[in-house]
Every structure is written in structure tokens, then in C-alpha cells.
Structure 1
Amino acid sequence: MRRLLLAIVGVFVGIASLAVAAGTASSPPLRARATAAAGCTPLPAGSHRLAPIDGRIAVVLHVGRRTRPGAPLVLGLPGSGQTAHDFASYTNYSALADRDGFSVAYPTATGARPSWNISGSLPGKPDDVAYLRKVIAAAVAAACADPARVGVTGVSNGGGMSARLACDASDLIAAAAPVAGGYKSLPDCRPARPVPILEIHGGADHVVPYAGSGPAGAGAVPAFLAQWRRLDGCAGRARSSSPHPGVTELRWAACRAGVVVQHDRIDDADHGWPGENDLDDVRGFASTRRTWEFLSAFRRSGG
């Protein structure tokens, strides 16, 4: 299994280089259309730059080739030091969107070495929850996506931010799937409703150690899972399985409102996106396929 090294030079790529796949990413930014409803016409298939929000780098929106109005939307959050282009490249999420008929929005965080303000209290950092709410609204409108089928995933710092959205934007998020982002500390996490959670983690992760390390928020995947089981009102023991050699899957399904808390541990995987670029589990565990299958299974209640 290839390992994704997250020490990527934190230099913003030019907007024109944010093409996620062959598409229209080099065209002028497109302003979000009215929210999807009867008769909504989505942007053409391919990659587009939405008009900048809050003065930030334009969000890349990839509309899958088979996408129809009312299809799901996935929000993909890159890790620290990464851009939207980086995340799209190593996850290959746009190719999966083409194949399965959905849209993916790729935002980039702020800073010379971009990173998300997970706690909301980092000095000099903006309110990323508020920003990503605007991103979701713009992407849903432009893709004519179903606002009740918005899922969020991300890696490392982006994975932690996806969990923060589950805490603070459960009115918009149907499910969250952080990868290498099972931070043990999500202070003041009070979702308005139960949120399905899938956490994927490498047993050999040296950046966010599986068993945790000193600073709050630096690991402890079991503590992260315990927090979400409590928040989602899960009862009983997990169902354990091994979908691949060296992979352990734990699934708690006796939770409130029919949600699920799930965890996939890849024993020998270091920090990153296990199975990067793979869309199927042919050669081993594929995080892109696994996160999409999980996110697409849920619809936000009341949506």
C-alpha cells in the first residue's frame, strides 16, 4: 500500500492550476446559481472554479459526468499544507464522481501552509465552520445537489475539520468520514442531531498516533470513537470484521435515529489516505471508495 506523505510544501498554486481533472477549471469563476429545485440545471460535467468566497482561493467544484439534479455532494478537505488540487489528485475523487454520478467540492484552507481552524480559537485564523457553510451552499446550488445528501470527508487536519463540521454544522451535513483525523479532543461538540461517522486510521500513524500522545487533539482514536458513540447514543458492542488482511472494521449500529459509528483500522498504514488513487478494493483498502460508500448511504433527517 502506498503511503501518502503529508509534508507537502505549503505554497498556494495559482488558481488556473486548480484543475481537478480535465474540465473547465481554467474558465472564469462561476457564481453560484439558485438553490436546486424543480427545473434546476446543474453546471456542465467537469471541474469549475466557483466565485471566491470571503476573499479565499476559489473552490473547485467537480460535477460528475453522470450527475443529475438531486445527486449527492461530497465536500473534500485537504490536510495541513495541502491545496484543493493536492487532495483531488491523490484521492482521485473526481474520477469516482464521474463514474457514480455525484459532485465534489474542494476548498483550500488559509495560510502560507494552509490549515483548518478545527478548534475555532486559533489566533489570526478565520471561522472555518462559517466559511464551509458558505461553500456548501454555493456548491449545492451550482451542482443542483440534494441539500440533504451532503457528506464531508478529509485527511489529517482536514479530517479533523470534517469532524468539527459534524459537531457544528449537523443541520447541513448528512454524514462525516474523517481519514487520519480522529483527534481525541473535540471541545464543545454539540451536534443538533445524531451524525453518522466513519473514521479511517492507520495503526502505524506517527503524526496522529492511534493510541494518542501528549497534546490534546494529537491522537487517541479510541477516545474519538467513544466520544461519537456517546454523542450518537450508541449502545452495545461493535460488530467486528476484517474486509482485508490487516484491516479491522468496527461498526456500532445500535445508535439513535438509525445512524452508525464505524471505524476502519489499517494496521500497517502510516499517516495519510490509505489506498490513494484506488477507486476499488482490488489491491487492498481504498479510502476513496470506502468514504463514498459510507457518505452516500445517509440522508440528513429533516432535509
Structure 2
Amino acid sequence: MNRAALLFLPLLAACAQAPSSSPAVPGATALPSGAYSAQATGTTTTGSATGSGVTRAYTLYTPPLGTGSARPLVVMLHGCTQSAADFAAGTRMNDLADTQGFLVVYPEQPSSANQSRCWNWFEPAHQARGQGEPAAIRAVVEAVRGRVNVDPARVYVAGLSAGAAMSVIMGATYPDVFSAVGVASGLEFRAATGSAAAFTAMSSGGPDPDAQGTAAYGAMGSFRRTVRTIVFHGSSDYTVSPVNGDQVSAQWVQTNDWADDGQDNGSRSVAQVTTRSGTVSGGRAYSVKSFAGGVVEQWSVTGMGHAWSGGSTAGSYTDPKGPDASAEMWRFFSAGGTGGGGTTPDTTAPVLSVSPAPGTYAAPLTVTLSMNEPGTVYATTDGSDPTSSATRLTLAGGGSLTLGSSGTVRASAVDVAGNVSATQTSAYTLTAAPDTSVSFGSVASQDGYVAANTPSATTGGYVVASGGIGVGDNADAPWKGVLSFDTASLPDEATVTGAVLTVRYSLALNGNPWAGGAALHGDVKGGCLGAACTLGTDDFAAAVTAASAVTFSAPASTGVGTTLSAPLNAAGLAAINRTGRTQVRLAFVGGTARSNGLSDYLTLGEGAQVTLAITYR
């Protein structure tokens, strides 16, 4: 089954009751009365960011509270079929941000990546650091940090359903970026590595959570540290079975057992648990388990389906009767701390390297920008400041840019701890690269002509592979010549700037195929015309890369040795194959020779008598 059909199945319809107030949580730090603003009053901006070649759009919400100081950032990953606006409305996270002063960013999954706009949590290509969607989401965080003042120690990620499963992956693969994770109706780390396994995990749970917890610790690499996790799941979730909520909690307890001291020794265990319960006024009952001293917290909401608990009916897939997941996640996030483990805070600026050194080079020039640690490089080519310019390029982890003319590259690097390198300025003077010329003779063993059996035939009837290349007609039945060139020696990165095809008469004309103003046209195929590069009847009507790419007019002479030369047009130049054969099919167009009942054709030499002269840089 293909990805587009898979994840997720349409999410369960949300309940339609009015939103409830946030329940009190025994022992927790309570949010102040009126934790939500009546209506979000901050600013919303949009952008996009690219990580490891994957680009995702995002919507950033900046509340008025806390302007000028380094603020926490909550990354919100929507569920299937949702958008940033829909998820913001349903979770009311922007309204909460207004009163609590944190930033919120909503990366968006396009339908081009998944037909239902689901994050592809079940595909191995999107389950590791530095690749796929995790790299793109990390790049979104770096892009936000380039726009506003973010506290790097207080960056969190949360999601619903497919977004929740991806938030688990983000916590495991980028623990240096995210200090806590919120999981609403999600699945454990690498709960599935394919579509069939994804269905199984959704309905009955994934692999052993201890094993997945160890795998998540391994995915952390050198950035290993405790990542606090809060989990919400409905007891009546028939899209993602409630067992998955248990597995997410157990997986993160195991991961954090490893992270606190580098050993699987039970220093943190699911046996270390306290339980409390409550009921939302006029709403649902719930139970809360706190594991390993509060490093992992699991909320089970009685009777709730596949939904964001306590959300607003202004958005999709919410249950207003459940406890307020948004408020509780923020309470959990803002409690702070890593619970042990982790690394010493990084206060050292990254080292930015720019190659080549400033100077004079042939155009085009590729400039490589790299840094000595994870982070993001920002660069401009218009002289503007790379730390703030609206036109700057964002290169997650570093990258390269290409200059086509003289210019100045300014660049700065920011590591994952927010340390910024000094801006480097590199001026380049570019000169036009000299053209290289090369000539190819044809591959005589693949040359010849393919003939139709009747004047009205549209397919080849037979081929002639020796004695020259005939072009014209036999009693009005058309002949088409085929020339084959081995152009594989051209550099893969070469830009072809010109090409001239030269052919020579090996015999005198038979009749006059040029009669009535006919022209000799050459179609170009980047590769083999037919099923093989050897001459075949299918060459007669085979599709080409560039039709009429070269045109010859009638020469003054008609004798043996007469030479015809003509340049290829732009489409013909683009069709030249740098990795194998380039074939040319010759045929007369227009004129009167094909309607006189006679045979009118020319015969061209092959091999060394034919040249395709190419210039490139």
C-alpha cells in the first residue's frame, strides 16, 4: 500500500462540546487564573526552512509579552489533514502564549510529501538526525532563532497523532535542540519502519518499548541527555490504540534511564511511579502517572477518542471535555531542568570556514560554507548583513552557493546553543570560463538508415546498416538516416555552449531530394532512439529529445565530397548526452520530391566522414 493511502486514516471526529477550564493538578505548579488571552494579540509571520535538502513552510506566532528577552519556543506538529492555522485554533496555544510569553512555531507538512499531510513518522528516511523531515523541522527552529530571540535551553516540541509520533523522533534525534517533548495520541520511537508495521502499531502497539528506548538513546549520539516527556492519550482512541500511550511513556523512561548516567541500570524505571486522578468540571475523568520523579508524565483521559484533550472546537480533532493538554504541557515544559544527565552548556562560538579564499576565479564559482559543529550558516550575496537580512540564505549544517558573476559573500554561523560566529566577508572576481572544443566522429557500426515500405507508412519497414546513410525517398517511400555519437567523455558538469554537425556526400545525388525548397532536418535524442542504440526499425518513429534541432539548406554542389554544416539550436544543445550515446535522425521536410513517384535521395558517409563538434565550459 502506498504512503498516500496510509497515514493516517481520517481522524476520529472531535466532540462538539464547549471548551472546559483547565483542571487543577495536585502537586503541580498551577497556571494563573485566566491563563488564556481572550484572543491572540501577537504577530503571525510565515517562512520556510531547508534541512538536508528538505524544505518545509512554517507559521511563527510571537506574543507581545516578553519582547526583547530570550523567550521559550514551542514547536507544534499538526496531525493529518490539519494546517498550522487549524492546529493553532484547536490547541489555543497562541492564546496561551499571550499570557505566558513563549513563542510558538507550526511547521507544515505539504500534500506533496504525504497526500493527507501526515508527517512520515513510519519511514526510515524520516527517523534519523540530519535527514528527511527531522532535518527540516530542526531547520525551522534555526530559522526562527535567526528571526527572534530564542532561549536555546527552553525549546520544546509537541504534536498530535502523526505529529506526536514525529515529536518523539525529534526528541530522540535532536536532544541538543529540544529539552522536552509533548505527545498527544502518538507512538513510541520508531514504532514502525514501513506501512504494514505502521498499521500494526496503530492498532496494537509497536515493538518492545525497552528496546525502542535503547534505540532512541542510541539515536541521540553524542548529544545524549535526559529529555522530559509528557503524554496524553484517550482510553477510547480507536485510531491509535491506547497501548501506544503506555509504550511512549515506557520508551522514554528507558531512554532517560540510559541518559542520566550512561547505563541501563534501572536508575529510572516505570516501577518508580505515583498516580493521581481527577475529573474536569462537567467533563471527563482522567488519571496521571508520574514516572521516575516526574521525568515522564502520562495522562490517560477516560472516554476520549483520537483528539487534542481540552482543545477548542474552533479547530479540528479536539475534545473540549478533556483536561487541558496545552496548559498542562506548558506547565510541564516550563517546570524546566533536564532531570540529570546532559552536557555542560556550550558558550563557545562556532568556527565558520569559507572556501575558496577570496580572489579571481572562472565563472561559475561554488562557494562552500561549513562550520565545526551542528548549527546553521546564514549567508548573503548582496552585501547585506547575514545576521538579520531578509534576503539571506539559510543553510542548516552548512552548505554551498553558486556565483555566476563577480560578487561578495557575507556569512555567519550560529550553533545549536545560540553562539554566533564573527561575520566573514569574501569578495570574488569572476571571469568568463574559456570554452573547450572537442569533435566526435560517428559510431559507424550504429549508423545507417531506416526505410518505410510505402509512401504513406508511418513506421519503419527495414533497415540498411552498410554502404552509407541514405536520406530521402525510394519511389516516394521515405528514408531516414541515423547517426550515432559516443559523447560520454563530456564532463558531467559541462555546460554545452555550442555544437556543429558536419556531414559529407559519399555518393552523388540520386534524383533531387532538395526539390521544391526541401530542407534536411535533424532530430536529436539524448540516448538511443529505439530500444537499443544499434539500428532498428523502431528508430523511424521513435520519440526524440529535441525535434528539428539542426537544419541544413541545399548546397550549391551535388557531387561526392559535398559538405553540409549547421549548428544545433538551444534545444539540441540541451539534448546532448554526457553519459552515453547522442543520436541524430535525419529526414527531409517539405519540398516536392516525395510526391513525384521517383526515387530522390542523398548518401552520406559515416564514421570519420561525420563530425559533431562541441564546445563547452
Into which bin does the TM-score normalised by the smaller protein fall? 0.7 to 0.9
* Distance apart, 1:118 and its partner CA: 1.7
Match runs of 1:78-227 below 5 Å: 78-111=78-111, 112-121=115-124, 127-183=132-188, 185-186=190-191, 188-190=215-217, 191=220, 192-211=224-243, 220-227=244-251
* Distance apart, 1:86 and its partner CA: 1.5
Q: Deviations over 1:206-261 (max 9, x none)?
A: 100113xxxxxxxx32222222111111134311001426200000134xxxx601
CA contact (8 A) 1:182 1:201 kept: no
Higher RCO (CA < 8 A, seq sep 6+): 1
Match runs of 1:261-300 below 5 Å: 261-277=296-312, 284-299=322-337
Counterpart CA distance in 1 for 2:40 and 2:93 is 13
Q: Give, as a single letter, the amino acid of the residue that structure 1 aligns with 2:231.
A: E
Q: Give, as a single letter, the amino acid of the residue that structure 1 aligns with 2:141.
A: I
Counterpart CA distance in 1 for 2:84 and 2:154 is 21
* Distance apart, 1:194 and its partner CA: 1.5
| Structure 1 counterpart SS, 2:275 | strand
Answer 1 or 2: which has greater strand percent.
2
Q: TM-score, normalised by structure 2?
A: 0.38
Matched, 1:49 2:54: no
Work out which of the two has the higher radius of gyration on C-alpha atoms and give 1 or 2.
2
CA contact (8 A) 2:285 2:301 kept: yes
| Structure 1 residues 226 and 51, CA gap change in structure 2 (3 angstroms) | closer
Counterpart CA distance in 2 for 1:297 and 1:201 is 21
Counterpart of 2:484 in structure 1 is none
Counterpart CA distance in 2 for 1:22 and 1:101 is 12
Counterpart CA distance in 2 for 1:195 and 1:288 is 19
Matched, 1:239 2:278: no
Counterpart of 2:72 in structure 1 is 72
* Distance apart, 1:101 and its partner CA: 0.7
* Distance apart, 1:58 and its partner CA: 2.8
Deviates further, 164-173 or 175-184: 175-184
Counterpart of 2:464 in structure 1 is none
| Structure 1 residues 166 and 184, CA gap change in structure 2 (3 angstroms) | closer
Counterpart CA distance in 2 for 1:197 and 1:51 is 27
| Structure 1 residues 7 and 269, CA gap change in structure 2 (3 angstroms) | closer
Counterpart CA distance in 2 for 1:229 and 1:273 is 23
Counterpart CA distance in 2 for 1:147 and 1:104 is 14
* Distance apart, 1:70 and its partner CA: 1.2
Q: TM-score, normalised by structure 1?
A: 0.74
CA contact (8 A) 1:185 1:224 kept: no
Counterpart CA distance in 1 for 2:145 and 2:277 is 36
CA contact (8 A) 1:120 1:128 kept: no
Q: Give, as a single letter, the amino acid of the residue that structure 2 aligns with 1:288.
A: S
Counterpart CA distance in 2 for 1:84 and 1:262 is 26
* Distance apart, 1:143 and its partner CA: 2.4
CA contact (8 A) 1:156 1:181 kept: yes
Percentage identity across paired residues of the two chains: 26
Q: Give, as a single letter, the amino acid of the residue that structure 1 aligns with 2:229.
A: I
CA contact (8 A) 1:239 1:252 kept: yes
| Structure 1 residues 52 and 229, CA gap change in structure 2 (3 angstroms) | closer
* Distance apart, 1:110 and its partner CA: 3.1
Q: Give, as a single letter, the amino acid of the residue that structure 2 aligns with 1:206.
A: Y
CA contact (8 A) 1:120 1:127 kept: no
Q: Give, as a single letter, the amino acid of the residue that structure 2 aligns with 1:251.
A: S
Corresponding residue pairs, total: 249
Matched, 1:61 2:96: no
Q: Give, as a single letter, the amino acid of the residue that structure 2 aligns with 1:265.
A: S
Counterpart CA distance in 2 for 1:97 and 1:136 is 17
| Structure 1 residues 223 and 67, CA gap change in structure 2 (3 angstroms) | same
Counterpart CA distance in 1 for 2:143 and 2:337 is 19
Deviates further, 231-240 or 47-56: 47-56
